[in-house]
Structure 1
């Protein structure tokens, strides 16, 4: 929708003489739009702009949720003005997503039974790791095969330092949850371009630009965040409902349909591609999450 402008003939800021086509001053960059009008005109302009933006939001969300891959396809075709930009949409949804997770984590921390279970699990894991450390001995010829051969005393000190931080991490639940969520948000931000790279490698024969794969990744992760938000709402209303299984399979089906639409392959070929793409993605997700957990522990 084109903006209706009340144009000046001369720039009030630098006195540049406008031509009819000038929406901005070529000299200083100020917008050529007169705001010195009755309040009702400004209110109408604001309402008109808000309704137009809301229309873009609802259209974008409708296609994102109900038409897997369509937003990515339209972006790749250059049809972008009618939809919320992918990265802006992702940032907004991710903020809501991690806010909801933080609220959920706070509720869990208030649950005494959950606290007891977590403390028991942490203690059991600590004992298991300590026993594993005692049983672990590098072979005498480890240097010969290229393995790092740190002195046993140095390894023990590093391990004890990590275990001390790990015990501190598991004891202070509120602080550890906050750090983990903060680092996880950064991890997911890194995962998006990595997933785009995975798609770029598996679909390299299509000779697409990396940006097209990145847009697919942004849209998919945005959908996943919205899906989890909705699932947490369902779980809050219907306690005991197994939302995890539903989230997993809905995400898998969505990814399958999105790949089929964007990369224009048959359903059978798409399914064949889905398996290795999904496996590599899950491996990368697991490794990044373990790395995020380790960083969160060392920051405690």
Structure 2
């Protein structure tokens, strides 16, 4: 859908004389579009642009969710104008995702205060099945004032200055409550952004024989992580209604199935061949995600 324009005959910015085909000034780059019109025209133009954008968003999300790998495939063959740009879509979805997680974390803390529950050291609910599992496995239990007092005493008894400083930061971070959790969420959002090109590199290595440009693998990674955020938001919404819903397992299984279907569509190959690729790709990715998350947690503690 082409934008309707009220064109100038001469550029008001630099004086260049336009030809009929000029939508932008070839001399200075200003758009050839007269905005000095009645308000009703501007309102009509606004709704025209908004509805067009909504149409692009709808088509993009429909293909992203229901047809794994199709958006990446269309990007590779050059069919891009009808869909929201991959990075633009990722940024928008990730902002909503981490905003909702922050609200969820705040709601949990408010509930704990109302019930006079002990402060929780756990940072579960980050929408990261691996990270959540690690925290559970490491006994991220409630931290009572008595435990905190014992931790302070233990820190004072440490003789090594470097180790004492590190442990002291851990205890301080654990005491931070909501502030520490928000800091970890912020750092996790940066981690996920840097994880995308790394996952693209993993795909580049596993499909090296196809001689694809790295950008193709990167776009696959962007679309996959965007879907992951949407899926996690949906799962958290279900959990809000039904508290017994297992978010971690559900997100993990659906993401794995989505990745399998997307790999088949974009890279081709038989179901068996794709499955044999999926196993090592998933393992390398999960190990990388785990290491990066632990590094992010360490950085969050040190910055505290």
TM-score of the aligned structures, taking structure 1 as reference length: 0.87
User: Equivalent residue for 2:215?
Assistant: 211
Measure the CA separation in 2 of the matches of 1:281 and 1:35: 50
Kindly tell me the number of residue pairs found equivalent between the two proteins: 276
- Residue 171 of structure 1 corresponds to 175
Work out the CA distance in 2 between the residues paired with 1:245 and 1:173. 26
Aligned residue for 1:94? 94
Structure 1 stretches of 4+ moved >6 Å: none
Matching residue of 2:38: 38
2:234 to 226, 230, 237: 230
Q: Verify the 8 A CA contact 1:5 1:33 in the aligned structure 2.
A: yes
1:84 is matched with 84
Answer yes or no: is the 8 Å Cα contact 1:256–1:271 preserved in 2. Answer: yes
The alignment partner of 2:62 has SS state of helix
Shift of residue 123 of structure 1? 4.7
**Shift in alpha-carbon separation, 1:204–1:247, aligned structure 2, 3 A:** same
| TM-score, normalization by structure 2 | 0.86
**1:122, 1:170 within 8 Å by CA — same for their partners in 2?**
no
Residue 282, structure 1, aligned to residue 300, structure 2: no
Q: Cα distance, 1:81 vs. partner?
A: 0.3
What per-residue deviation string (whole Å, max 9, x for no partner) do you get for residues 62-99 of structure 1?
Answer: 01111110100100110000000000000000001111
- CA-atom RMSD in angstroms: 2.2
Does 2:63 match 1:63? yes
CA distance in 1, matches of 2:256, 2:147: 35
Stretch of structure 1 that moved more, 216-225 or 31-40:
31-40
CA contact (8 A) 1:108 1:114 kept: no
Please give the per-residue CA displacement for 1:137-161, whole angstroms capped at 9, x wherever unaligned: xxxxxxxxxxxxxxxx7xx221111
Aligned equivalent of 2:265? 261
Report how far residue 21 of structure 1 moved: 1.6
Once the two structures are superposed, the pairs formed by residues 1-300 of structure 1 within 5 Å of their partners are 1-110=1-110, 111=112, 112-113=116-117, 115=119, 117-119=141-143, 123=147, 156-300=160-304
